[in-house]
Amino acid sequence: MLLTDPSSSTFLAWLAEHIFIILKLQVMRKHLLPSLLLAAATLLLSCNGSAPSSADNSEEAATATDSTTIPNDAAPDVLPDDISNLTPEQIVTRMFEAIQKKDLKSAHAFWKNAPAGYEEFADDYKSARDVQMTITGETFTDAAAGTAYASVPVSVTITQNSGEKQELKGHYQLTSSNNPESPSRGWRIASKELKDANMPESGASEEEIVKYIRKEFQAINNANYKPQTHKIDCGEITYFTVGSDVRKVKKSWFAGDYGGDEEYYFKNGQLFFAYFWDEGGPANGKVTRQECRYYFFDEELIRTLPKGPRTCMDGAEVLKFASDVTVAFMKQDYSGVECF
């Protein structure tokens, strides 16, 4: 009799019967009994209900999945039932309440064209441990061509897992259809205009801008990032990031009797400060040290502080080096990083 279904009751009965016969025949051979008992127990456990079949495992896995919180980036967009009755201020407030709860899908659902653009939206908050929003004034409203518009003024403070804090201010722009037959009644967020709340205003003096820059790179150096270090031909390069956003890059290099570091500091994708130093000299000669500090505002070099016998680079050269190291990170290819 050929049995092809080891999980069937017929097979279990057949197996039990034959194991009993074998045990009976071998009972006098005590040295074989333990092995046979062990084999019998193993076979029975592998086939009866105490050891789930692959189908049972699949069912249990599905049950476990159903009872587990769905990962945020797989969760469906969720909008409140009363969305058509919410004011623009309430829409913005509800969005930030969802962000604070780490429910980024539901937060993004308040945007006009959700779910499009979710990844970019979520990238701002995935590495945040706390997000606070305050409405700072009255909402401006207007209407034209069947659409209502609203602008809600806000201040936002984002504290990253690294400890770094971003303070932003600006507006969220919302729209709502005035057409009673529109399928999407209620306000939706259309865009935002947020900027660094501490950034110097237009017309600020160079000293004010330099003071702001120094505060920014000190905050980056005080933060607790998880570094990512990669080897290059003449040394190594280390990135300090928040999500995919590069905050700082440190390149350490050596060449013969010389060596040094280059440090680049970024905010919102723009270089705002760089610090270079190198030191060395011939074996029997004088050792020299060169330092250069570069201050940038809106991608323009506003101040260079040199220390040493040589002239520092111009702003365009520093920006090129900064671009090279960020492009290498985006491509995850560091073979083209220049050493010095």
- Residue-wise pLDDT for 281-338, tens only, equals 877 778 899 999 999 998 899 999 999 999 999 999 999 999 999 999 999 999 888 8
Domain range summary for the chain, segments of one domain joined by +:
9-66, 78-196, 207-331
Query: In angstroms, rounded to a whole number, what is the distance separating the alpha carbons of residues 340 and 321?
Result: 9
Supply the pLDDT for residue 191: 96
Question: Mean of the pLDDT values across residues 148-173?
Answer: 95
Residue whose C-alpha is closest to residue 98's, from 113, 85, 79, 116: 79
pLDDT above 80 for 2: no
Query: In angstroms, rounded to a whole number, what is the distance separating the alpha carbons of residues 48 and 12?
Result: 8
- Residue-wise pLDDT for 4-13, tens only, equals 444 445 555 5
pLDDT above 70 for 79: yes
Give the chain's length.
340
Confidence class for position 77, pLDDT limits 50, 70, 90: low
Stronger pLDDT, 74 or 174, i.e. the higher one: 174
Question: What residues contact residue 233 under an 8 Å CB cut-off, 6+ apart?
Answer: 339
pLDDT above 80 for 167: yes
Question: Mean of the pLDDT values across residues 196-206?
Answer: 91
Supply the pLDDT for residue 74: 41
Question: Mean of the pLDDT values across residues 173-201?
Answer: 85
| CA distances from residue 20 to 6, 16, 29, 33, 51 in whole angstroms, order as listed | 18, 6, 15, 12, 21
End-to-end CA distance of the chain: give it in Å, rounded.
79
pLDDT above 50 for 23: no
Supply the pLDDT for residue 339: 75
Question: What residues contact residue 22 under an 8 Å CB cut-off, 6+ apart?
Answer: 36
- Residue-wise pLDDT for 207-225, tens only, equals 999 999 999 999 999 999 9
- Domain 78-196 fold: Nuclear Transport Factor 2; Chain: A, (3.10.450)
* Percent of the chain's residues with pLDDT above 90: 56
- Residue-wise pLDDT for 107-136, tens only, equals 999 999 888 899 989 988 988 999 999 999
